[in-house]
Amino acid sequence: MRSVRTFKTFLAVVRHGSFAAAGQAIGLTPAAIGLQIRGLEEELNQQLFNRTARAVVLSTAGRKLVPAIEDLVLRYETLAAGADADELSGMVVMGALISALMGSFADALWTIKKQYPRLEVRLLAGQSDDFTRKVAHGELDGAVVVRSPNVLPSNLIWTPLYRESMILIAPRHPHFELPADPLEVLRRCPFIRFDRNSWTGYLVSEVLRQCNVSPADAMELNSFEAIMEIVRQGFGMAIVPKLANVDWSRDRGLMIIPLPCVAIERDVGLLERTSHLRTGFTDAIKQYFIARKGQARR
């Protein structure tokens, strides 16, 4: 019978994607990691990982075992924690959109970290669709993502946290003529589009559809920071979410242009597996936003 330590090693490899990276995270050599995994595979009589020269990838059998092994480790850690069971501690690996870190999630993370100083959060930046696969396979404990336009896998749950208005931004000092009519701005000015293959890019397309406008695309990027800077420099305009931690009113290079008859908002939420090791942390995130909404109603 394998020890809990071996199961933790298995989950470390799932999370980090290689024996070397997992070994660095938990203080073992790649050879020691490989020995434990081979022993587990022999005991279970199935191959858990497909190995390549650079990485290891969960096999179909290994993927099916992740929830059960996570549950075993969680039960053990709950027993071992004893009186400290309510104290959040240890490592949590989360995915987060860069725009979420420029929005309300950054405030939530900072508050939770102050409340639980023994908690360590490792953040990985990326796109919502990529995070879906990584959360489903157990590589991430959770991710802050935009609501998916597609049906999620059955082992995932998405909880809404907050909403952001979709707004039209333009440069205060453009290198082109800026019409007074917002719809004419969309029709005639260079449009800096967010990656249309992303979930937020889908929302941008929905705003344009509501406005019944086909803009003159000048550039397509997958970074809001880059888009906003290009607009600041006067080279185009863009539709972006109104991020919470951007001081829009004092931005010397950007201005917001109201769009008539647009009621589209970006829903940002927490993606996690229906059963996983770090529900204490993900519950803390959800409670933060529930409390915040309660305060806003007062």
Q: What are phi and psi of 130, to 5 degrees?
A: -70, -40
- Same topology, domains 1-83 and 163-266? Answer is no
Tens-digit pLDDT profile for residues 13-66: 888 888 888 888 888 898 999 999 999 999 999 999 998 777 788 899 988 888
State the amino acid at position 27 in one-letter form.
G
pLDDT band at 298 (very low <50, low <70, confident <90, very high): low
Average pLDDT of the segment spanning 110-132: 88
State the amino acid at position 274 in one-letter form.
T
Higher per-residue pLDDT: 80 or 97: 97
What is the CATH topology of the domain spanning 1-83?
Arc Repressor Mutant, subunit A (1.10.10)
- The C-alpha atoms of residue 127 and residue 119 are separated, in whole angstroms, by 25
Q: State the pTM of this model.
A: 0.74
Q: Give the number of other Cβ atoms within 10 Å of residue 238's Cβ.
A: 26
163-266: CATH architecture: 3-Layer(aba) Sandwich (3.40)
Determine the pLDDT at residue 217.
Answer: 94
Quick one: tokens of 229?
A: 């800077």
State the amino acid at position 202 in one-letter form.
Y
State the amino acid at position 119 in one-letter form.
L
What are the sequence ranges of the domains in the chain?
1-83, 163-266
Average pLDDT, the chain: 88
Determine the pLDDT at residue 187.
Answer: 94
Mapping DSSP to helix (H, G, I), strand (E, B) and coil, where does residue 29 land? coil
pLDDT band at 12 (very low <50, low <70, confident <90, very high): confident
- The C-alpha atoms of residue 73 and residue 248 are separated, in whole angstroms, by 46
DSSP 248: G
Quick one: tokens of 197?
A: 């293959």
| Residue with token string 């509501």 | 210
Determine the pLDDT at residue 218.
Answer: 95
Tens-digit pLDDT profile for residues 162-196: 999 999 999 999 999 999 999 999 999 999 999 99
Burial class (CB in 10 A: 0-12, 13-18, 19+), 80: exposed
